[in-house]
Amino acid sequence: MLSGIRIVDLTTVIFGPYATQMLADLGAEVIKVETPGTGDISRYLGNGIPDPTMGSIHLTVNRGKRSIALDLKNPADAAVLRDLIATADVFFHNVRGKAIARLGFDYAGCRAIKPDIIYVHGTGFGQDGPYADLQAYDDVIQAATGTTSLLPRVDGDPRPRYLPSLIADKIAGQFGAQAILAALVHKLRTGEGQEVEVPMFECFAAFMLTEHLRDDTLDPPIGPAGYPRQLDPTRQPFPTSDGYLAIVPYTPESTARLMGLLGSAELLETPGYEAAKAKGQHMPIIYSEIARKTPAKTSAEWLVIFADNDIPAMAARDLQDIRADPHFVATDFFRHRTHPDVGAFHEMQPPVKYGAMAPRDLGFAPRVDGDGAAIRTEIAGRPG
């Protein structure tokens, strides 16, 4: 894994901390540099009981890290950060470019401290474009990438709306972790550090437009942007007599089997369906027929039938029910742990399993400056 790799993490909120937690899970030593007193704002996202600086979201994006509080406008604290960078493989921050330069920790400044440093700048927007100096948060990026236009196209309500997830932050975090791993491989092969920019706007656009650029990909375009299957208003969980199911007739074969199970096989032979299929506009017909037939049985009854006939389907659950899912219980995905400061809590385990690498002790999310004294002592005792 990443044992022996030190990452000095000056990022805040979700984007950067999410990225570095994935690397901490892989064995990297992540030193979280925070504002004295208050710490990272992510500490206050979610209820923090009994300590407001140890909020529930902080627990889920900062486990396994060490924390030191530094005021980088204070020369003595800035010197501590310089000493830390001298010991690091990676320095990752999401401070705006002009501000980090004023503090002396731009790429040139850090390369002078550690010539082979991997210097990662998490930005809102690419630094060679007109938005370079703008602030970016998840809502801003969802709006700027056209993501807020998707739900109106599904339900007809013209108001732009956000997806109910910090999805842009988390996707950018995934790109950030990937970028650091790629730069570490390059350094392993060549001995070279480098500057790496991870812009939220571009990362999230690349993620969302994978399917939604659609027919606007070609030049000239042969149709509008937007993936019709995702924007079809009839593509919803289907009602049963006691709940809702997600049912996916994705291939012609599974569609035929599903229509047979519903007693609607003749639908696939009607002229109207054939004409719609020729234009690639047949799925609303299928979805509407499913919704008409599924209320005849309970969710459990349908799930048995669909499993026996290889039809992809799952119950549409409430968030509150997810921890009790029998699959997650069997795989110990939500592990019950006791944090030394917070007490008992449930923690999601890293989802990827490795055959040749033993899982590591994940550690806990730190208190503000919880490791500051120890880190300062380590630096003071460092040779040279």
- Is the domain spanning 238-315 CATH 1.50.10? The answer is no
Phi-psi region of 197 (alpha: psi -120 to 50; beta: other; left: phi over 0): beta
Q: Is 185 strand, coil or helix?
A: helix
Taking the CA atoms of residue 348, residue 353, residue 354 and residue 359 in that order, the dihedral angle to the nearest 10 degrees is 30
pLDDT digits (tens, 9 = 90+) for 90-118: 999 999 999 999 999 999 999 999 999 99
Question: What pLDDT sits at residue 330?
Answer: 96
Phi-psi region of 265 (alpha: psi -120 to 50; beta: other; left: phi over 0): alpha
What pLDDT is recorded for position 48? Answer: 65
Q: At residue 67, what is the residue type?
A: S
Tokens 């330069």 map to which residue? 101
Closest C-alpha among 183, 171, 26, 168 to residue 92: 183
169 included as an active-site residue: yes
Set 40, 89, 169, 369: catalytic member: 169
Give DSSP secondary structure letters for 5-47: -EEEEE--TTHHHHHHHHHHHTT-EEEEEE-TTT--GGGGSS-
Q: pLDDT value at position 280? A: 85
Domain ranges of the chain: 6-208+350-380, 238-315
| Single-letter amino acid code for the residue at 360 | R
Residue 168: enclosing H or E segment and its boundaries?
helix 167-190
Tell me the per-residue pLDDT of 128-164, one tens digit each, with 9 for 90 and over: 999 999 999 999 999 999 999 999 999 999 999 999 9
- Using 70 as the pLDDT threshold, list the residues of the chain that sit under it: 48-49, 382-384
How far apart CA 181 and CA 185 sit, in angstroms, is 6
* Fold designation for 6-208+350-380: Rossmann fold (3.40.50)
